[in-house]
Amino acid sequence: MAFKHHYHEVVDVIGQTFTDMFRGLQEKYADEIAAVAKQYPVEPFVFLDPPLRLEFSEARELLKEAGVEQGEEDDLSTPDEKLLGRLVKAKYDTDFYILDKYPLAVRPFYTMPDPNDKKKSNSYDMFMRGEEILSGAQRIHDPEFLTERAKVHGVGKRNISWNNIEKIAAYIESFRYGCPPHAGGGIGLERVVMLYLGLDNIRKTSMFPRDPKRVTP
């Protein structure tokens, strides 16, 4: 999605889309949700409108209060994310929330740094019941700056000094043709359904689940 002024335009659109989806499920499919809950009991999914958005530093403080110490440039582990989900639920009464401004050090080279804080990035994750469902960011659209960031991350590096961008040349060159500032993220809707309903396995939300022992039908 292209934006006019700030990547939060994208974050707001995605967050509101989820909020509308959750409300639509409650209003149109209450009977179906209740039927699933009978077999797989779980607390009803709750959310805020507009959705809760926390900066990563605020999440770090919540974890610190719960006894989890983290460095300024550390990412969240899976156990940390699940604990954070419980802490956010207890404090804000929501199962859906957005974490914004991740440390730049834990994001890919193409992530745009925060112009006001060189240790932060214009990136975000979205969570349901303490599990990540979407990860996104503003991408660097200036080819020279993109090359600089790639060098910082050592993209293309083998056992010799990094001295070319051959591996990502086509990607960098694509930004010389007027690509506007943009941001986005990827999501799996089966995962959203699993977490919304509080199920214990994603296979229960897929008509034709796949795993190492099942490839058909």
How far is it, in rounded angstroms, from Cα 137 to Cα 3? 12
The residue with greater pLDDT, 164 or 60, is: 60
Residue at 167 is within a domain: no
pLDDT level of residue 27 (50, 70, 90 thresholds) = very high
Q: pLDDT by residue (tens digit) across 116-147?
A: 999 999 999 999 999 999 999 999 989 999 99
Residue at 1 is within a domain: no
User: What CATH number did the domain enclosing 29 receive?
Assistant: 3.30.930.10
**In the prediction, which pLDDT does 161 show?**
41
Residue at 80 is within a domain: yes
Residue at 79 is within a domain: yes
Please choose, from the candidates 58, 45, 56, the residue with its C-alpha nearest in 3D space to the C-alpha of residue 18: 45
Residue at 166 is within a domain: no
- Our count of domains for the chain comes to 1
The tokens describing 6, both together, are 């700030």
pLDDT level of residue 34 (50, 70, 90 thresholds) = very high
Please provide the size of the chain in residues.
Answer: 217
**In the prediction, which pLDDT does 160 show?**
38
